[in-house]
Amino acid sequence: MRFASVVLAALSLFAFAPGVQARSQELVDPAPVSVPAGMEQEALVKDIKRALIGRGWAVASEQPGVIESTLHLRDHVARIKVTYDTQQVQFTYVDSTNLDYKERKGKRMIHGNYLGWISYLVADLTTNMQVTALQ
């Protein structure tokens, strides 16, 4: 009876082991976000910053066409680069701390929460630009 309990416990550990790895997902930068026609660069930069700041990201540096931003969340840190022009905005992963970033079999892997944070930025930026375009 005791042996059966030990075997069952060991098998359950193996059954749940993939769940531990599921926290890590493939890191794929999102597709570029299209900028509405006729949007002025000043308004675009405001919309990008509004999306970043609204989600807790800090603007670390800024140059024409490039904004570098950092998110500090508990003991996690993520850094991204936002490049933009009159046609599109691109969010690109730069580096991170405590987000389990690694390259495995030629693929970049990261904690799944990072992907959610970036998708929120994309959605917020899209909304911001639509509102600005209507004004």
Which tens digits make up the pLDDT trace of 97-106?
999 999 999 9
**pLDDT for the residue numbered 18:** 44
- Could you list the mean pLDDT of each consecutive 10-residue stretch along the chain, which spans 135 residues? 48 44 84 96 98 98 97 96 97 97 94 96 97 92
**pLDDT for the residue numbered 2:** 57
**pLDDT for the residue numbered 9:** 47
What are 96's two structure tokens?
A: 């991170």
**pLDDT for the residue numbered 100:** 95
**pLDDT for the residue numbered 135:** 86
Contact between residue 5 and residue 68 where contact means Cβ atoms under 8 Å apart: no
| CATH superfamily of domain region 25-134 | Kinase associated domain 1, KA1 (3.30.310.80)
Closest CA to 46 of 35, 117, 92: 35
String of b and e for 66-78 (b: at least 16 CB within 10 Å)?
Answer: ebbbbbeeeebeb
**pLDDT for the residue numbered 34:** 97
DSSP the chain: -HHHHHHHHHHHHHHHHHHHHTTEEE--PPPPEEPPTT--HHHHHHHHHHHHHHTTEEEEEEETTEEEEEEEETTEEEEEEEEE-SSEEEEEEEEEESS--EEETTEEEEEHHHHHHHHHHHHHHHHHHHHHHH-
